[in-house]
């Protein structure tokens, strides 16, 4: 007699969040979609509700949908991709997840299903009330059950490895970013937002669960998001020729670019990876519950859903080159510290932006090691600087140039608003 796996009822859990019948399954696309693809989607929908279709057949049809839509997603620039094809890709992910979870899946198949959901969340468009987000939560619950036997086994600890990182320049009083504690909305608006003056806000995020009920650590991030797939920047900085991006699970990223980065540096090697400018909190709502929007965002013109919340997670030494952004920015420091330098947009001509349209918002100058022969005016540009510590929030006004270097293992959250 076959032993029942703890994951044997996973298929029924997933079925419970889907429409109860094939007739109620929402599969509506415009005429611009090829008839052959519409037929393939219908066939996969039929298989979704069939008890006799094999896993192999389900997987084959799902993969055809994914491969064809993937080609459409990678033709031309991302902004020109038709949303219909992003929806098709999400349906393909849904059908593949159903195939992977059919008939008592293994742990490896569950992890593959989690990755498939993440690919749909990253590259697709929301379908059926964001059903992939619902399913990935179910899958994570199953993964955590199977991982409980691993509890107590020790993960490598970053804090045990100490290395010498570049020292922070001595910050002179007149160059230090000013600090204020819990200003009123009116005071912040009058003294900083309207005149576009940078400032460090103290005491405004101390209530975040990320500092209290659920303090962020390597172990916590592994437990909440370890099996989730995220985009990782590989390379010293995005302006370098060898810079690239890859997809890794959070566990793989931590092992390769945080734990092993320190070992690599100590042995004379190089390793650089950065989970940068990613809307991680939309992808993993459990982490979103650990933070809060700063109250001062209410002074903006848009709605709450117009605020872009990004994660910045990486080892010491990661660098964001001197650049400017088209929105106001609150940069909240949760773990570790960062050295930050700010320049006014009035001094743009002294900062030598790249001439290309792609990098026009980024300076050519290496801030802490400038080439004074190529960029002679850079040394005359006035600036403010600071070391941003956990619990502090830096207000970076719209279009202000900023350079950021992590001094140690760091997790920051940025809020871009208009």
248-266 per-position pLDDT tens digit = 999 999 999 998 765 554 4
Axis-axis angle for helices 83-100, 55-73 (nearest 10): 160
- Residue 232: exposure state from Cβ atoms within 10 A (0-12, 13-18, ≥19): buried
2-24 per-position pLDDT tens digit = 344 444 588 889 999 999 999 99
Average pLDDT value for residue range 343-371: 94
Which is nearest to 335 in space by CA: 140, 158, 166, 175?
158
Calculate what percentage of the chain has a pLDDT beyond 90: 76
Describe the strand order of the beta sheet including 273-278 as a list of residue ranges. 179-181, 199-202, 392-396, 328-335, 410-417, 308-314, 273-278, 229-234, 244-249
Contact (Cβ atoms closer than 8 angstroms) between residue 223 and residue 143: no
Q: Is the pLDDT of residue 139 over 50?
A: yes
Beta-bridge partner residues of 405: 319, 339
- E strands present in 51-207: 179-181, 199-202
Q: Count of CB atoms within 10 A of residue 414's CB?
A: 19
63-93 per-position pLDDT tens digit = 999 999 999 999 888 888 899 999 999 999 9
For residues 390 and 334, give the distance between their C-alpha atoms in angstroms, rounded to a whole number.
5
Q: Is the pLDDT of residue 210 over 90?
A: yes
**Mean pLDDT over the full length of the chain:** 90
What is the per-residue pLDDT for 151? 58
φ and ψ at 171, to 5 degrees? Answer: -95, 120
In which band, very low, low, confident or very high, does the pLDDT at 129 lie, cut at 50, 70 and 90?
Answer: very high
For residues 400 and 412, give the distance between their C-alpha atoms in angstroms, rounded to a whole number.
18
| Six token digits for residue 168 | 């922070």
Contact (Cβ atoms closer than 8 angstroms) between residue 339 and residue 412: no
Give the CATH architecture of domain 173-417: Sandwich (2.60)
What is the per-residue pLDDT for 8? 53
Q: Is the pLDDT of residue 155 over 70?
A: no
Question: Up-side HSE of residue 127: CA atoms within 13 Å toward CB?
Answer: 29
For 38, the 3-state DSSP assignment is helix
What are the residue boundaries of the structural domains of the chain, listed by start? 10-149, 173-417
Beta-bridge partner residues of 70: none
Which is nearest to 304 in space by CA: 223, 417, 383?
417
Give pTM, 2 decimals. 0.89
Q: For 217-240, give the DSSP string.
A: -HHHHHHHHTT-EEEEEESS-TTS
């Amino acid at each position: 007699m076959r032993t029942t796996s703890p994951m044997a009822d996973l298929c029924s859990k997933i079925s419970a969040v889907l429409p109860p019948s094939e007739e109620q399954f929402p599969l509506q696309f415009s005429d611009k979609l090829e008839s052959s693809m519409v037929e393939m989607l219908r066939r996969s929908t039929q298989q979704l509700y069939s008890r006799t279709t094999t896993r192999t057949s389900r997987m084959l049809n799902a993969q055809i949908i994914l491969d064809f839509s993937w080609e459409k997603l990678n033709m031309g620039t991302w902004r020109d991709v038709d949303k219909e094809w992003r929806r098709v890709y999400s349906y393909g992910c849904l059908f593949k997840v159903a195939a992977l979870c059919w008939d008592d899946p293994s742990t490896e198949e569950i992890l593959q299903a989690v990755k498939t959901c993440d690919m749909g969340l990253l590259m697709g468009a929301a379908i059926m009330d964001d059903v992939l987000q619902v399913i990935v939560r179910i899958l994570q619950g199953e993964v955590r059950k199977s991982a409980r036997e691993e509890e107590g086994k020790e993960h490598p600890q970053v804090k045990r490895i100490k290395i010498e990182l570049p020292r922070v320049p001595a910050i002179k009083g007149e160059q230090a970013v000013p600090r204020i504690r819990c200003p009123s909305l009116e005071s912040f608006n009058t003294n900083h937002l309207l005149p576009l003056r940078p400032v460090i806000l103290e005491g405004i995020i101390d209530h975040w669960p990320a500092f209290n009920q659920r303090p962020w650590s390597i172990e916590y991030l592994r437990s909440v998001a370890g099996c989730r797939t995220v985009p990782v920047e590989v390379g010293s900085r995005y302006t370098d020729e060898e810079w690239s991006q890859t997809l890794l699970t959070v566990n793989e990223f931590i092992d390769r670019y945080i734990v092993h980065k320190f070992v690599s540096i100590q042995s004379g090697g190089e390793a650089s990876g950065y989970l940068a400018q990613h809307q991680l909190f939309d992808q993993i709502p459990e982490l979103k519950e650990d933070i809060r929007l700063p109250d001062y965002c209410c002074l903006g013109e848009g709605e709450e859903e117009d605020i872009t919340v990004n994660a910045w997670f990486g080892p010491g030494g990661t660098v964001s080159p001197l650049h400017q952004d088209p929105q106001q920015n609150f940069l909240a420091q949760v773990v570790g510290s960062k050295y930050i330098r700010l320049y006014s947009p009035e001094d743009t001509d002294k900062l030598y932006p790249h001439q290309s349209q792609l990098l026009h918002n980024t300076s050519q100058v290496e801030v802490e090691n400038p080439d004074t022969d190529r960029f002679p005016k850079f040394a005359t540009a006035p600036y403010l600087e600071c070391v941003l510590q956990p619990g502090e929030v830096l207000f970076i006004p719209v279009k202000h140039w900023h350079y950021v270097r992590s001094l140690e293992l760091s997790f920051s959250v940025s809020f871009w608003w208009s």
